[in-house]
Structure 1
């Protein structure tokens, strides 16, 4: 064993021993040991027996998994200067937008409510969606179109887009910077568990009159994973899709969150109290987003109240700031005008959750999985801080929206070059359509169960690369119709309705079925 591996192993042991779980294990062992032993060997044998306890072994395995996950994050590469600058300028635009809203409305960024307003808001809380109205004077801080236009303008100052008068393969699309991408062969290896020879939930459709034996075996494996209490086992299980009845058990385990503790419920109640007593300038923007998007969607309109309640609580949760720890982005620093006429610079909103247009779509699908608001909330914050936050960040990180956009264009060029060239020759940029799907992880476009089946795999593989793969797979699925279009409006008609699209089979076909247009 190398010295590096030994050092890492010792670090893991040290962390486990100093953790709350470590103290619990030591106390459990101490209380189980008799006062005297005949020999040191007898003591060692007794301790080995105690450490073989299934519950203790599960706890240790999970602690090792957590350490390895943090270790990999901390080994991340440094960002390139021009993308750091691009992210900084983008944040300056968002700060300007928030300060402009505050100035135009003549309101502080945050303020305590009066007793009358508190009582009125508390009365509305249980039916918040129907009680609160949309105010069109409050515009989103930014929309997908804004971010899309900004990303398309980014350039590497040291990179030549043209070689001998010819546009290079790397600049055929709208993302003009030379980001490293993963080709289809590499993706096949990375997502081998999606191959056609594996059994998946959401692919084999059971006959209504007969049990599907293949899907039945997957369900048995999922049930075993949900009772194992092991994070890696739950993650692996999610790669094959999860039945609706088991998501509420497997997702929290795979995301390493405890939804059964009283602590999480109390934290959510305290956030609710904060919403009911302190107003944020951006609250109305969050309300507008729910009204315009998820509450206006046939899949999610019944969840308007919990979606809005969770979103308003999330805006105030400072713990969400953890998403900036290993991110190219920074919390927005805005000017808050005080009652006495002074002003202060504060991180805003308090959670760092920027109300981009469509943000409510990250919450509504979770209402199908959990019935309690605090469970919806805890799952949303876990998924957003680990994954969906990256859909707002300009970075070379493979999971950032910039890299995902580049991956989409390169995958479409690699698998369907003729389709790509046909579309751009007609003035149609494929990324324009794929971008809006990816920035909301397909919620609001695919049917709710298809979104959840896709999110199963995002959790299981711990990767957002499935978003550009799914987007390219849809283009492949509609390729025969797209080859006939001549105008953007016609492409819009072909790609507008994604109802009845079974997304996992399309991903499998794209990755593992050869195509005659592949060059």
Structure 2
């Protein structure tokens, strides 16, 4: 298929997706309203309407929407179109492992429901609805007895599934060879080496100014001018410019607005209305997963020195999230499949099946920590909710789904092990020999995107770079720059900072780790990450190792 044909297919698919969006309806309404303005002439109607939409800011909003669609859906599709399951995950053994994992999670949830005599869902009595409504903003003061409830799974359970993955067409003792068999990941996925990472992420070079480094050393020379550039991106509402800017870090006072712009989230009345509808769903129905959410918040965020004050926000956002059926849309490009529940006595009859929970996401131990850092940025629940939902459907789902995607947790684990094996082979071998495989320590950091391990300001610097580097990486050899923009994008590395930082932490603590003699002592050396500075570690590991 030639470039022109593929580009035409991409544009057609973009148009189809955007036609069903709220933005399209708004633009149509604005176009109709502008027809009454005197400068709109019949003989030049099309050009005049286009000029009006451009000068009134709608062209920029359309550009931001197109940019988001390209990043989210990884357009265009290949031609001819592959089977739907291949769009979600091309490797059969990965699909099989993910399906097996989903059955295990669902079995655990159903067993808990049966053992405890707690239904998966029930209608709340009117009095209970009123009581919950009255204490909606004070749910953190409630102390329900959750002792009988347990997390459906924890990161260590998921790790065992990840390390058990094997390709039926690959001999792990062969070409990936001498280094890879030291580690726990034995699947032949393509990950970048440090030389390739340096080539892609030149903005993090030692000569480049970085928030998180240079703002502390030279605030007058760097930060003031840098803030002005960020303000300009916001003033022009340029999502692509804001994303590029985020690669070197976002100033504290601008971060919330820059992230919202990068995620193409405009505070619209319908967003607040949608949040209120979800809240009404929480008030009307009690779900078993509500107990899992409450248990998780109590076990994690409520015991965290940074996040315990946001307990009420976490309940509100996560309970609404569980009811949001719009989240199901991301399963089109997620290797996972939303679980289903059946009306009693109608098991296996698809006419009596519903997705459970309504968003298709069963929370695990630590899930609430995806939301907690965002509470520092957004104090309006509907805005906080919108940002979290976008962050989850763009990034976080990849951290607990089995897939061959280069931004998926399996590839991230492999990248971490390869970086450590290549650049710190003595350390890796030493830890392996004493039964302290590095991935067993680093996995919990990565699966939670380091939330709860780093101090908040450093975590936000890390997440700045995740948003900043969520980019379209063109296929080598594409002729035109325009075609490159719409070209295949399977090499995007939007979660690359996680394994790089994990490897950098091991490098930083090498001297102490070389002295340990057990997994417990290695974990003790790496137990407290709260004093670490993220950007110097990443920068030194990438460019000075």
Taking structure 1 as the reference length, the TM-score comes to 0.90
Q: Does 1:415 align with 2:423?
A: yes
How far does residue 26 in structure 1 lie from its aligned partner after superposition? 3.7
Quote the Cα distance in structure 2 between the aligned partners of 1:156 and 1:387. Answer: 25
Matched position secondary structure for 1:282: helix
Quote the Cα distance in structure 2 between the aligned partners of 1:432 and 1:469. Answer: 16
After superposition, the Cα gap between the structure-2 partners of 1:52 and 1:280, relative to the gap in structure 1 and judged at 3 Å, is closer
What's 1:332 paired with? 339
What's 1:79 paired with? 90
How far does residue 144 in structure 1 lie from its aligned partner after superposition? 0.5
How far does residue 438 in structure 1 lie from its aligned partner after superposition? 0.5
How far does residue 328 in structure 1 lie from its aligned partner after superposition? 1.0
Q: Does 1:179 align with 2:186?
A: no
Select which of 87, 90, 100 maps to 2:101: 90
How far does residue 167 in structure 1 lie from its aligned partner after superposition? 5.8
Q: Deviations over 1:324-363 (max 9, x none)?
A: 1111110012345489xx9953311111221110001011
What's 2:502 paired with? 471
Residues 80-89 or 478-487, more deviating: 478-487
How far does residue 162 in structure 1 lie from its aligned partner after superposition? 2.3
How far does residue 133 in structure 1 lie from its aligned partner after superposition? 2.8
Q: How does 1:201-216 map to 2 (within 5 A)?
A: 201-206=211-216, 211-216=219-224
Q: How does 1:190-229 map to 2 (within 5 A)?
A: 190-206=200-216, 211-229=219-237
Q: Deviations over 1:133-177 (max 9, x none)?
A: 35121111110011011111121222222249x964332210111
What's 1:122 paired with? 133
Quote the Cα distance in structure 2 between the aligned partners of 1:119 and 1:284. Answer: 19
Q: How does 1:402-441 map to 2 (within 5 A)?
A: 402-441=410-449
Q: How does 1:35-114 map to 2 (within 5 A)?
A: 50=52, 53=55, 55-69=57-71, 72-75=74-77, 78-114=89-125
Select which of 139, 145, 164 maps to 1:153: 164
Quote the Cα distance in structure 2 between the aligned partners of 1:499 and 1:418. Answer: 26
How far does residue 71 in structure 1 lie from its aligned partner after superposition? 6.2
What's 1:295 paired with? 302
Quote the Cα distance in structure 2 between the aligned partners of 1:43 and 1:121. Answer: 55
Select which of 239, 256, 273 maps to 1:231: 239
How far does residue 217 in structure 1 lie from its aligned partner after superposition? 1.8
Quote the Cα distance in structure 2 between the aligned partners of 1:149 and 1:120. Answer: 42
Q: Deviations over 1:53-84 (max 9, x none)?
A: 26143134324424543663453765211111
Quote the Cα distance in structure 2 between the aligned partners of 1:222 and 1:35. Answer: 35
Select which of 364, 373, 377 maps to 2:381: 373
How far does residue 36 in structure 1 lie from its aligned partner after superposition? 5.9
Select which of 27, 32, 35 maps to 1:27: 32
Q: Deviations over 1:267-317 (max 9, x none)?
A: 112211221221001111110100000010001011111111111111111
Matched position secondary structure for 1:315: helix
Q: Deviations over 1:455-477 (max 9, x none)?
A: 11111112111111111111111
What's 1:307 paired with? 314
Residues 68-77 or 82-91, more deviating: 68-77
After superposition, the Cα gap between the structure-2 partners of 1:9 and 1:418, relative to the gap in structure 1 and judged at 3 Å, is closer
Quote the Cα distance in structure 2 between the aligned partners of 1:52 and 1:97. Answer: 54
Quote the Cα distance in structure 2 between the aligned partners of 1:137 and 1:13. Answer: 48
Quote the Cα distance in structure 2 between the aligned partners of 1:32 and 1:461. Answer: 42
Q: How many pairs are equivalent? A: 505
Residues 241-250 or 289-298, more deviating: 241-250
Select which of 468, 481, 484 maps to 2:512: 481
After superposition, the Cα gap between the structure-2 partners of 1:22 and 1:2, relative to the gap in structure 1 and judged at 3 Å, is farther
Select which of 167, 176, 180 maps to 1:170: 180
Quote the Cα distance in structure 2 between the aligned partners of 1:322 and 1:47. Answer: 33
Q: Does 1:354 align with 2:355?
A: no
Contact 2:31-2:49 within 8 A present in 1 as well: no
Contact 1:134-1:287 within 8 A present in 2 as well: no
Contact 2:31-2:53 within 8 A present in 1 as well: no
Quote the Cα distance in structure 1 between the aligned partners of 2:114 and 2:467. Answer: 41
Quote the Cα distance in structure 2 between the aligned partners of 1:451 and 1:35. Answer: 50
Query: Structure 2 regions of 5+ residues with no counterpart?
Result: 79-86, 471-493
What's 2:83 paired with? none
Quote the Cα distance in structure 2 between the aligned partners of 1:221 and 1:193. Answer: 16
Query: Structure 1 regions of 5+ residues with no counterpart?
Result: none
Quote the Cα distance in structure 1 between the aligned partners of 2:254 and 2:339. Answer: 38
Matched position secondary structure for 1:279: strand
Matched position secondary structure for 2:35: helix
After superposition, the Cα gap between the structure-2 partners of 1:321 and 1:51, relative to the gap in structure 1 and judged at 3 Å, is closer
What's 2:153 paired with? 142
How far does residue 251 in structure 1 lie from its aligned partner after superposition? 0.7
Matched position secondary structure for 1:95: helix
What's 1:503 paired with? 534
Q: Deviations over 1:180-222 (max 9, x none)?
A: 1111111112222222222221112437xx8432122221111
